[in-house]
Amino acid sequence: MRRISKSFGLTQVLRDVDFQLRPGEVHALMGENGAGKSTLMKIAAGLIEDFEGQILVEGQPVYLTSPRDATRAGIAMIHQELSLVPELEVDENIF
How many domains is the chain built from? Answer: 1
Strand partners, 62: 55
Domain span including residue 8:
2-24+32-93
What string of H, E and C letters represents the secondary structure of the chain?
Answer: CEEEEEEECCEEEEEEECCCCCCCCCCCCCCCCCCCHHHHHHHHCCCCCCCEEEEEECCEEECCCCHHHHHHCCCCCCCCCCCCCCCCCCHHHCC
CATH number of the CATH domain containing 87: 3.40.50.300
* Window from 4-8, 51-55, 58-62, 84-88 with minimum mean pLDDT: 84-88
Q: How confident is the model at residue 93 (pLDDT cuts 50, 70, 90)?
A: confident
pTM above 0.75, yes or no: yes
